[in-house]
Amino acid sequence: MEPVDRLRREIKVLVFDQYGTVVDMQKGLTEVVAPFLERKGWKGDAHRFVTWWRRTHFENSMIDSLCDRGHTPYREIGQRAVSHVMDRAGIAYTRDEVEWLVGRIEALKPFPEAVVALQHLHRRYKLAILSNGDKDMLAAAKPYIGFAFDQTISVEEAGYFKPHWKTYAKAEEILGEKQAGILFVANHVFDCVGAKSYGFNTVFIDRRKQPFGPWPEQPDLVVANLKELADALI
């Protein structure tokens, strides 16, 4: 049986990562950061600044989970990351500016094809979000996405950041669906590896045309965007 045929037959719920999978984090934050950095007189590339910010955030969130000393809010991790990047870039800033920059994550817009693709998928499947974002951040983001998911789950409920196995276990518990009936969708290799390792079916959204890597936990399906996913599963 072809993987897509099996998925169509078995899947009941699609669970999406939010930041970078449903919403365009890189583009959205670059558009915010560019004029901010210009006002600061920083001559570097805004796109690279955002990449630096996101990588620092990811590293810090992984450290937080590995230390296992209690979950730190996504917002706090983000503020530490932005502050660190601006310190390294030699940019003077205030606490209010850091909080404002991280707050822009709540207003990120979806990828151009996302809403229509989600609407098509929703005709057949239950759709949910599993995000590293805080509950209040995810709630604030809903109007900007423009699509009502059946369930929005924050890893705050599990007490760890993805890809810790407890985040996927908590999603399974909340959704009330067996692993075989869940398809996890993400633009991030680490997230697909984590979800697959836990036992979910996975889809890798390969927007950047980069290799997935020789992980044992290969995705069940690789597509370029959410439209291709909808076309494959409907």
Q: Of 48, 11, 24, whose CA–CA distance to 201 is shortest?
A: 11
Burial of 140 (C-beta count, 10 Å sphere; 0-12/13-18/19+): middle
In the chain, where do the E strands start and end?
A: 13-16, 126-131, 151-154, 182-186, 201-205, 221-223
Ranges of the chain whose pLDDT falls below 50: none
For residue 189, give the 3-state DSSP assignment.
helix
Sheet of 13-16: strands edge to edge? Answer: 151-154, 126-131, 13-16, 182-186, 201-205, 221-223
Only one residue has tokens 């075989």, namely: 180
- For domain 3-24+108-233, give the fold: Rossmann fold (3.40.50)
pLDDT number for residue 1: 53
Domain 3-24+108-233 and domain 26-107 have a common topology: no
What does pTM read for this prediction? 0.96
For the chain, the domains span 3-24+108-233, 26-107
Class of the domain covering 26-107: mainly alpha
Position 2 scores a pLDDT of 77
